[in-house]
Amino acid sequence: SDYQQLGYNLRINVFQGGPLKSRSLMRDSYTPDVFQKAVIDPRHWHGRTISELGRWYEKYFLDLNVEKAMNEKYG
């Protein structure tokens, strides 16, 4: 029956899982020098630039973190 066939497959380990080393189509498509020449710009990522509102929030949360650290240190 189908149940016995499934049990047989599980016992002989037909379903061995994924490969031990993962492969990427992007890494396989390009030569290594492409990745070495790549420049990561924190202001421009995934085709999006950080707007003025984003910069304001960056400064705001930096200010909050500084204020929190000052309160922890000096009370």
Extents of the domains making up the chain: 1-39, 41-74
Q: Phi, psi at residue 6, to the nearest 5°?
A: -65, -45
For 49-71, what is the mean pLDDT? 87
**CA–CA separation, 30 and 59 (whole Å):** 38
Angle at 20 between CA 17 and CA 27, to 5 degrees: 120
Given a cut of 80, whether residue 74 has pLDDT beyond it is yes
pTM for this prediction: 0.35
Q: Phi, psi at residue 48, to the nearest 5°?
A: -115, 140
